[in-house]
Amino acid sequence: MEPVSSPVRSVMQNLDRHIAFTEREHRLISALESEPFAVARGDTLWHPDEVPRHLYSLHRGWACTLHRSEDDAEQVLDLHLPGDVLGLLDFTFTTHYTTAEMLTDGVVRAIPIAGIHRLFQAAPRVAMSLQAATARQQRNITQRLVNVLGNDACSRIAHFALEIHHRLAGTGMEVSNRFTLPLTQRRLSQLLGMSEVHVSRTLSELAERRLVLRQRQSIDILDFEELARIANFRPERFSDTLNPAFVGREPPTSPDL
């Protein structure tokens, strides 16, 4: 893994969309972060049964977490976009249960888990922001599971396309109707619980209906309104806005608190 010489955002800059951090909080996290390093498409950040030792902030590129069964069948559990922190769902466990794999070339920073406890004690608001990021990663997986279990093939792909567009827009990137989606047909089928043939046929149907057009590694959303209707997509379910009670913006309901 090669070091990166050009400026790269710190993980704190990726988390402060949840909570605006102070200079002191920025310094504390910067003291833990490694220098940014380059990773290549297909590189793995961790394997199942390894002890979690780092969180990884993804600054450039895309990654996925996946599960491999004993018969080598694979299921993609989540996609990670620039700005995401990888390892949040595993780091309190004694071993990883997933594999983290780069879908593209990219740049990451590592944060040693051994320093997280001290960071939380020194900066509780950082802990709150990491909790918010963890909850939103779990929400993404839950929403996709509901989508897969409750929708037909067209609705699954429609919901997924809108989810990724909404998440990309939430990173502050300028996102048009067409955006990059560096997923092979195989990985897309593993994410949505469909065969590769079924994915191909469904994408062809959506293109014929002038809803979605897949071109190599990009997606072009042609009709947002109709796509949201057939997918029953509700963007508020993917919001980064925090509960005011969680961040202390509402008065306590009990006089004892």
Domain boundaries, the chain: 2-138, 150-238
Is 70 exceeded by the pLDDT of residue 228? yes
pLDDT in tens, 157-185: 999 999 999 888 877 777 888 998 999 99
pLDDT in tens, 88-124: 999 999 999 999 999 999 999 999 999 998 888 998 8
Please report which confidence band the pLDDT of residue 5 belongs to, taking 50, 70 and 90 as the band edges.
very low
pLDDT in tens, 67-79: 988 888 899 999 9
The whole-number pLDDT of residue 67 equals 93
Is 60 exceeded by the pLDDT of residue 4? no
Asked if residues 45 and 85 have their Cβ atoms less than 8 Å apart, the reply is: no
Spatial distance between the Cα atoms of 138 and 132, rounded to a whole number of angstroms: 10
The predicted model gives 175-199 an average pLDDT of 92
pTM of full prediction above 0.75:
yes
Beta bridge partners of 80: 63
The predicted model gives 204-210 an average pLDDT of 96
Please report which confidence band the pLDDT of residue 12 belongs to, taking 50, 70 and 90 as the band edges.
low
The whole-number pLDDT of residue 13 equals 53
Edge-to-edge strand ranges of the sheet holding 44-46: 44-46, 99-102, 63-68, 74-80
Domain 150-238 top-level CATH class: mainly alpha
For all residues of the chain together, what is the average pLDDT?
Answer: 87
Spatial distance between the Cα atoms of 238 and 227, rounded to a whole number of angstroms: 17
Beta bridge partners of 107: 38, 60
The whole-number pLDDT of residue 81 equals 92
CATH classification for the domain delimited by 2-138, as one of 3.40.1180.10, 2.60.40.3500, 2.60.120.10, 3.40.50.300: 2.60.120.10
The predicted model gives 53-70 an average pLDDT of 92
Distances (CA, A) of 78 to 54, 59, 136, 173: 18, 17, 11, 20
Structure tokens that stand for 8 in this block: 């790269």
The whole-number pLDDT of residue 239 equals 81
H helices, E strands: number in the chain: 8, 12
Is 60 exceeded by the pLDDT of residue 250? no
